[in-house]
Amino acid sequence: MLLMYSLQRSYNYCEIGEKMKRIGSIALASIAIIIMAAMAVSVSSKQEESDMVSLPQPRTDGGISVEKALFERRSIRSFKNESLTLDEVSQLLWAAQGVTDDKGHRTSPSAMASYPLEVYLLAGNVTGLSAGVYHYSPHGHNLTVISLGNKIDELFSSSLRGKKDWRALSPAVIIITGVFERINKVPGQDLSRFVYVETGTAAENLLLEVVSLGLGATYTAGFDENRTRECLGLARGEDPIAVLPVGRKA
């Protein structure tokens, strides 16, 4: 009887030991999963951080008068083989769509403050910035990498009436796109034209800033839409509207 009892007890202890082992290994596995998940989150947030490029603060004073910039503005299609600086690129992006107050208003007006425009930078030769395709975020005044590598030559590789497209030699190209659903919120009304109007105002801001910085640029609306969409990775509903090559006047 005593033997039976002690056998039963030792069996129970064995069973408890097994259960404890199982619980222990489940706990260990859970801890390992939590640690791995935390590591994955930290790697992906580091990845996001490294995909973001902070831009130098834009200056809001100085430069030349608006009248002088208006008087001097001309479409420039020939650039020196020289880089732009990150300061210059920052100033140009800000001129197009930068945020200028804590309510989120921008350098360009926007119908119903709907802000349907997006701005992209194709960097080919910009000091302090890897060649690549970037999206400009007005709120953070920063860039997010879309893809790395100089895509300017590729985008403008087709010839224009047998001549090489002059835009292929630009150190940087700024592209303005429109997201139409942001403005088409009034039922029964197609307000798409507002997006084109806003592109014009943003582009003119940029062109005047170009003059103020002593650079050259041209507003171009003749471009290969499919290639541009592919280059920027645009989804349906967002269309490229203006392509502005920028460089140092030759």
Ligand X SMILES: Cc1cc2nc3c(=O)[nH]c(=O)nc-3n(C[C@H](O)[C@H](O)[C@H](O)COP(=O)(O)O)c2cc1C
CB of 219 to ligand X, least distance (A): 4
In this complex, which beta carbon is closest to ligand X, that of residue 77 or of residue 151? 77
* Region label for 203, one of left (φ > 0), alpha (ψ between -120 and 50) or beta (otherwise): alpha
Rule CB under 6 A: is residue 164 a binding residue for ligand X? no
Nearer to ligand X (CB atom), residue 74 or residue 164: 74
Burial of 101 (0-12, 13-18, 19+ CB in 10 A): exposed
Q: Which is nearer to ligand X, 188 or 222 (CB)?
A: 222
Rounded Cα distance, 196 and 132, in Å: 26
180 touches ligand X (CB under 6 A): no
* Binding window for ligand X (CB under 6 A); candidates: 6-14, 40-48, 110-118, 213-221: 213-221
Mapped onto helix, strand or coil, the DSSP state of residue 118 is: strand
Contact status: 163 vs ligand X (CB under 6 A): no
Residue 60: CB minimum distance to ligand X, A: 26
Dist. CA 119–CA 173, nearest whole Å:
11
Contact string 102-141 vs ligand X (x = CB under 6 A): ----------------------------------------
# chain residues binding ligand X, by CB under 6 A = 8
d(CA 165, CA 87): 27
Binding track over 49-78 against ligand X, x by CB under 6 A: -------------------------xx-x-
CA distances (Å), 21 to each of 14, 35, 58, 174, in order? 10, 21, 62, 62
**Which token pair is 232?**
């920027």
113/183 Cα distance (integer angstroms):
9
Footprint of ligand X on 214-243 (CB under 6 A): 218-222
Q: Which residues bind ligand X (CB under 6 A)?
A: 74-75, 77, 218-222
